[in-house]
């Protein structure tokens, strides 16, 4: 059975494909469209629900191919038992993507002769199964590999391995039907030196065929560890070009940052020409690539940071408590401490959407995270302001019309700077502004 699109976790990130080969201001704009993960051919997605040393990790991917060819290896900090692993819901990942995606909004200028011409939209405020006895009975192989735990979850057969030598682990995987590509040993070695374990999953074809799902489902794993990290190096074994990772990090405290690479905000709150309304996907892909190149290709971009209790403007409704639990949020029913006067009502879940585009040479280390108490609100937001081009015969209308060409050209310059598109091509698509008509001095008094 060959699925059209198999959702599962992190094959291009930290999964190896083994068959190788304070109140925020209201914006009052109209939501138009979003730049979600469908823009990228190789976008892996992960949800990390983290509080203190406790983590629930959900892995998803857009792997395409024969189900029998799917397998993965994920470094994990502890030996996981069956009760710590479960199937996730791909719809939850889609909901988080839609809620946090960079967005396009629009405003419409009114007739300047009927009311005072409004100021430009304000910038976004910076506030704003098997136990250890059974595992030991399984024993250690001659290659130094120990099966610490083994169990099945849904359509997956899962092993938790430990190893003493990377060459031995690579040989063991190859001998047991997991065809590792050349060079795997050197990437496995640092994880063995850190005493990490290896979560290995393959598809049980009989179970998959008995299931009602057309797609492989995401996998979730729960564990406790002081390490707050995401392994990405294994996913670079087969990589020939750049890969995108979208991480939705959920925390009860505030924003999450990456500590061993710079974390920067994506350029935002820019006014751009109206004609790109139906091309926002192209705009954002070019915008992201331009920012990625400018920052040296080794940074993590914040595309969204917001309290899950609200949104403005909303590209999708906030996740409800049931959906949040489906995303791994385990602290919802726990009492939350309050400090001082609450300026605005807030939920107990803060989401940070981090977008990392990585290559082997620019990201030689796995991603290390830290929770913060920073609850400043941020979103990738881009603004269309439709000009008023109707008749307007008053001094305010004349002044508006005189200033409009400069404003439209500034929007063109903004788009060129953000996307590296040719400014002359952009200008050719700008609307024509009617000439200002001279109004006789007596018209306003002799109406």
Q: Is position 314 within any domain?
A: yes
- Same domain for 288 and 416: no
Considering just the CA atoms, what is the radius of gyration of the chain in Å?
A: 26
Which of 128-142, 151-165, 413-427 has the weakest average pLDDT?
128-142
Please tell me the predicted confidence (pLDDT) of residue 341. 45
- Same domain for 394 and 381: no
Please tell me the predicted confidence (pLDDT) of residue 335. 61
Please tell me the predicted confidence (pLDDT) of residue 430. 93
Please tell me the predicted confidence (pLDDT) of residue 24. 36
Per DSSP, the residues of 331-393 read: -TTS-----S--SS---S-EEEEEEEEE-TTT--S-EEEEE------EE-EEEEEEPP-S---
Q: Domain end: 335, 357, 386, which one? A: 386
Q: Is position 313 within any domain?
A: yes
- Same domain for 441 and 317: no
Q: Is position 11 within any domain?
A: no
- Give residue 125's pLDDT band: very low, low, confident or very high (50, 70, 90): very low
């403005």: which residue's tokens? 312
Average the pLDDT over 355-367 and give the result. 91
Q: Which of 116, 157, 182 is nearest to 396 (CA)?
A: 116
Please tell me the predicted confidence (pLDDT) of residue 447. 60
Which of 8-12, 212-216, 243-247 has the weakest average pLDDT?
8-12
Quick one: CA dihedral 31, 33, 38, 43, positive or negative? negative
Q: Is position 24 within any domain?
A: no
Give phi and psi for 16, each to the nearest 5. -95, 130
Q: Domain end: 343, 371, 386, which one? A: 386
Q: Which of 362, 364, 269, 256 is nearest to 302 (CA)?
A: 256
- Same domain for 163 and 254: yes
421 pLDDT above the threshold of 80: yes
* Bigger pLDDT: 127 vs 295: 295
Q: Is position 22 within any domain?
A: no
Please tell me the predicted confidence (pLDDT) of residue 210. 83
Residues whose CB is less than 8 angstroms from the CB of residue 205 and which lie 6 or more positions away in sequence, other chains included = 67, 68
Average the pLDDT over 255-265 and give the result. 97
- Same domain for 240 and 133: yes
- Same domain for 225 and 267: yes
194 pLDDT above the threshold of 60: yes
Note down the domain range covering 423. 389-447
Which of 33-42, 191-200, 372-381 has the weakest average pLDDT?
33-42
Q: Which of 346, 319, 378 is nearest to 253 (CA)?
A: 346
Quick one: CA dihedral 167, 168, 171, 172, positive or negative? negative
- Same domain for 356 and 429: no
Which of 115-119, 403-407, 417-421 has the weakest average pLDDT?
115-119
Give phi and psi for 77, each to the nearest 5. -80, -20
> Tens digits of per-residue pLDDT, 80-99?
999 999 999 999 999 999 99
- Same domain for 397 and 305: no
Query: How far, in Å, CA of 277 to CA of 297, rounded?
Result: 28
Between the ranges 248-252, 387-391, 397-401, where is the mean pLDDT highest? Answer: 248-252
- Give residue 142's pLDDT band: very low, low, confident or very high (50, 70, 90): low
Please tell me the predicted confidence (pLDDT) of residue 236. 72
Q: Is position 13 within any domain?
A: no
Between the ranges 38-47, 204-213, 434-443, where is the mean pLDDT highest? Answer: 38-47
- Give residue 342's pLDDT band: very low, low, confident or very high (50, 70, 90): very low
- Same domain for 421 and 356: no
- Same domain for 396 and 370: no
- Give residue 212's pLDDT band: very low, low, confident or very high (50, 70, 90): confident
Please tell me the predicted confidence (pLDDT) of residue 432. 84
- Same domain for 190 and 303: yes
Determine if residue 67 is left, alpha or beta; phi over 0 gives left, psi from -120 to 50 gives alpha, anything else beta. Answer: alpha
Q: What total of structural domains would you count in the chain? A: 2
Query: How far, in Å, CA of 310 to CA of 99, rounded?
Result: 10
Whether the predicted model's global pTM rises above the 0.75 cut? yes
Q: Is position 47 within any domain?
A: yes
- Same domain for 408 and 352: no
Q: Is position 105 within any domain?
A: yes
- Give residue 256's pLDDT band: very low, low, confident or very high (50, 70, 90): very high
Average pLDDT of the residues of the chain = 83
What DSSP state is assigned to residue 37? G
Q: Domain end: 386, 402, 434, which one? A: 386
- Give residue 439's pLDDT band: very low, low, confident or very high (50, 70, 90): low
Please tell me the predicted confidence (pLDDT) of residue 334. 72
Average the pLDDT over 146-159 and give the result. 94
> Tens digits of per-residue pLDDT, 6-60?
333 343 333 333 333 233 334 446 888 899 998 887 788 999 999 999 999 999 8
Query: How far, in Å, CA of 372 to CA of 251, rounded?
Result: 9
Average the pLDDT over 342-370 and give the result. 84
């Amino acid at each position: 059975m060959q699925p059209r699109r198999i959702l599962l976790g992190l094959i291009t990130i930290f999964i190896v494909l083994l068959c190788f080969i304070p109140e925020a201001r209201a914006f009052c704009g109209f939501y138009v469209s979003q730049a979600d993960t469908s823009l990228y051919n190789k976008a892996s997605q992960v949800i990390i629900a983290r509080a203190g040393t406790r983590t629930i990790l959900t892995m998803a991917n857009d792997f395409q191919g024969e189900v029998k060819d799917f397998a993965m290896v994920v470094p994990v900090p502890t030996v996981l038992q069956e009760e710590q692993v479960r199937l996730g819901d791909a719809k939850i990942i889609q909901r988080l993507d839609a809620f946090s995606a960079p967005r396009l909004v629009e405003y419409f200028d009114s007739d300047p002769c009927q009311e005072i011409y409004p100021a430009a939209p304000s910038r976004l405020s910076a506030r704003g199964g098997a136990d250890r006895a059974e595992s030991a009975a399984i024993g250690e192989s001659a290659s130094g590999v120990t099966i610490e735990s083994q169990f099945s979850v849904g359509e997956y057969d899962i092993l938790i391995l430990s190893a003493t030598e990377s060459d031995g682990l690579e040989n063991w995987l190859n001998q047991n039907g997991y065809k590792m590509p050349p060079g795997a040993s050197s990437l496995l070695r640092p994880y063995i030196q850190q005493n990490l374990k290896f979560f290995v999953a393959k598809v049980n074809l009989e179970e998959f065929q008995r299931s009602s799902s057309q797609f492989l489902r995401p996998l979730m794993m729960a564990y406790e560890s002081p390490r707050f990290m995401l392994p990405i190096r294994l996913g670079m074994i087969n990589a020939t070009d750049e890969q995108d990772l979208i991480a939705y990090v959920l925390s009860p405290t505030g924003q999450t940052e990456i500590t061993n690479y710079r974390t920067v905000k994506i350029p935002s709150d820019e006014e751009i020409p109206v004609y790109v309304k139906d091309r926002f996907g192209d705009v954002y892909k070019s915008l992201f690539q331009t920012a990625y190149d400018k920052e040296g290709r080794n940074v993590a971009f914040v595309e969204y940071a917001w309290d899950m209790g609200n949104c403005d403007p909303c590209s999708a409704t906030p996740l409800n408590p049931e959906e949040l639990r489906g995303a791994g949020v385990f602290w919802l029913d726990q009492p939350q401490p309050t400090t001082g006067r609450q300026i605005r009502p807030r939920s107990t879940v803060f989401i940070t959407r981090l977008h990392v585009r990585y290559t082997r040479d620019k990201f030689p280390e796995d991603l290390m995270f830290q929770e913060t108490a920073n609850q400043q609100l941020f979103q990738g937001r881009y603004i269309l302001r439709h000009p008023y081009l109707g008749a307007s015969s008053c001094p305010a209308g004349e002044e508006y019309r005189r200033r409009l060409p400069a404003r439209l050209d500034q929007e063109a310059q903004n788009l060129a700077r953000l996307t590296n598109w040719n400014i002359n091509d952009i200008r050719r698509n700008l609307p024509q502004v009617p000439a200002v008509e001279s109004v006789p001095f007596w018209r306003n008094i002799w109406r």
